[in-house]
Chain A
Amino acid sequence: MTEVLSLRHLRKSFGALKVTDDVTLEVRAGEIHALIGPNGAGKSTLIAQICGELPSDAGTVHFQDRDITPLSAFKRARLGLGRSFQTTQLCLEFTVLEHVILSPDCMGGGSFNLFANPRNDAGLRDEALHWIGKAGLGGRENRQVANLAHGERRQLELAVALARKPHVLVLDEPMAGMGAEESTRMVTLLQELKGQYPMLLVEHDMDAVFTLADRVSVLVYGRVIFTGTVDQVRQDAEVRSAYLGDD
């Protein structure tokens, strides 16, 4: 199976604290690879290293057979690395439509056209509306982002990422802070997207992980202690004691 994203021996320390300790894992074409681990295990730090927000101390990140380790964050994004953030990062003053229009508009790094108003570009509008509908935000396109509920912002983050036609999605706890109903809707949405986009999914909710994931890696104190299929995780004693609770 072909690897889309592959991390090789990544390391990162904050002072004496090893937050990423020789992490090697890959995301294969079409799969959802879940990354689980207790609070503070280093999951978000690992994502920051993948996306180029944080430089790694050692190791490499390969994306579609290309070593992207030396590339800055915006260049990695241009290659098709889409993501969502653990705490939503959105432009609060835009409307939903404006925000999603910005995505395809920035595909090549953003335009220096000082006069054309992208809001009047019918092609971009239609494209944006398509992804807004896909993310379950249909009918709310003229709502200002600041006025969206928490769950809706999560959906918007996904729409914003999808509208860039990413080649991989790196999602940092997309269900965090959502109510039960919202979570269920998000799981359904991710299930629909499964197969179309390879995903690295950080998630605490084990039900969601077992529903969605093909493979699971377990991160504890910056180390991957286990990688395997969902069934293997269920059975593995070490994982149970480290993370799932031995009951």
Chain B
Amino acid sequence: MPKPDRFAITGLIMLVLLILAPIVVVQTGWHGGLPLFTRIVIYALAVVSLDLIIGYGALISFGHAMFFSLGGYMVAILAHHTNAGDLIFGWAGSNSAFILWPLALLACALLGLVIGYLALKTRGVQFIMITLAFAQMVYFLLVSLQYYGGDDGLMMDTRNTMAVVDLDNPWSLYYLALGILVIWVLFCRFIVNSRFGMVFQGLRQSERRAINLGVNPLPFRLTAFVISAVGTGMAGILWANYAQFVTPDMATWAKSGEFMAIVTLGGLGTLLGPIAGAAAFIGLEQILTIWTEHWMIVMGPVLVLIALFGQQGMLGRFLKGGRHD
């Protein structure tokens, strides 16, 4: 008898929960429920992308917030010029998501390509430090953009437009984000199980062996890094449309650290674990902020304890178990 596919079962349960939970929560009369779940889903998109390279490739990027911020700033800046009636390099601009989002994702892919190429010349702690350094450069660049609000960030007066989906309706925005998350998780799942993914994971487990099989490590790692950057950038795009506001905070090392913490919290190398991690992290943040503004004082130790004792994270043991004899 074939073993039940734990990934499929867990994924399905999560999907049903994410479809129903905001409806139920709002029914109880708490209208903060929908924004809360929107944030969870957007974060989930970013951390699933990060898990692809950390969990499956041991490429520990401490700079992924730069892609999150770039995605957000790209759509906010383009919307800003379009609404002000400026020409953008001779182009009148657009508010259409079908034009702006691919442009923003392309920018993330290019940034990922350049930074991935440079960072992948190093390994281990150096890789962590170099991705962090690049993210800090992006952060300071955003702070210095006085025209786009500098430190204060940039408001997005109108959300992007989409043919069928009305992004100004918070329910539509939520279910759109959820739909994108589902597609992205399936895509990542395919990658992980593909020929490409097998080599990519083989490189993590034994680089010397993989090389002796004829594998050139760089193209594989770089491809995965770029895919991860694009997914995180998509989360940034959704964030900008959700908050109608982008700030350099989106690129801070603390944001990159949050992403890494969530991946670890949920379970490295499981794709679904980080979604649970995002729900736990954002949920806890919500509860703690009501209780005290110094919520990080509580959250910090919680994360340290999880990192120390829960090596597999929330779902790692379950999702990785039962696969082999």
Chain B count of residues within 8 A CB distance of the other chain: 29
Grouping DSSP codes into helix (H, G, I), strand (E, B) and loop, the A interface class, with mixed when no group exceeds half, is loop
Instruction: Check if B113 is an interface residue, CB within 8 A of chain A.
Output: no
Whether the Cβ atoms of A118 and B198 lie closer than 8 Å is yes
Given known contacts A90-B206, A143-B325, A118 and B195 CB-to-CB distance under 8 angstroms: yes
206-231 of chain B: CB within 8 A of chain A: 206, 208-217, 219-220, 223
Instruction: Check if B324 is an interface residue, CB within 8 A of chain A.
Output: yes
The minimal Cβ–Cβ distance linking A191 to chain B, given in whole angstroms, is 24
- Contact flags B193-206 to A (C-beta < 8 A → 1, else 0): 11111110110011
Instruction: Check if B98 is an interface residue, CB within 8 A of chain A.
Output: no
Measured between alpha carbons, how far is A97 from B211 in the docked complex, in Å? 19
Measured between alpha carbons, how far is A2 from B215 in the docked complex, in Å? 29
Whether the Cβ atoms of A114 and B196 lie closer than 8 Å is yes
Whether the Cβ atoms of A102 and B198 lie closer than 8 Å is yes
Measured between alpha carbons, how far is A112 from B201 in the docked complex, in Å? 13
The minimal Cβ–Cβ distance linking A157 to chain B, given in whole angstroms, is 8
Instruction: Check if B288 is an interface residue, CB within 8 A of chain A.
Output: no
Instruction: Check if B115 is an interface residue, CB within 8 A of chain A.
Output: no
157-209 of chain B: CB within 8 A of chain A: 190-191, 193-199, 201-202, 205-206, 208-209
Contacts of A108 in B (CB 8 A): 214
- Cβ-neighbour of A147 out of B190, B206, B213, B324 (below 8 A): B324
Which residue among A74, A107, A110 has the maximum number of chain B CB atoms within 10 Å of its CB?
A110
**Which of chain B's residues has its CB closest to A141's CB?**
B325
Contacts of A82 in B (CB 8 A): 212
Q: List the interface of chain B (C-beta within 8 A of A).
A: 190-191, 193-199, 201-202, 205-206, 208-217, 219-220, 223, 323-325
Q: List the interface of chain A (C-beta within 8 A of B).
A: 51, 53, 72-75, 77-78, 82-83, 85, 89-95, 98, 101-103, 105-119, 142-144, 147, 160-161, 164
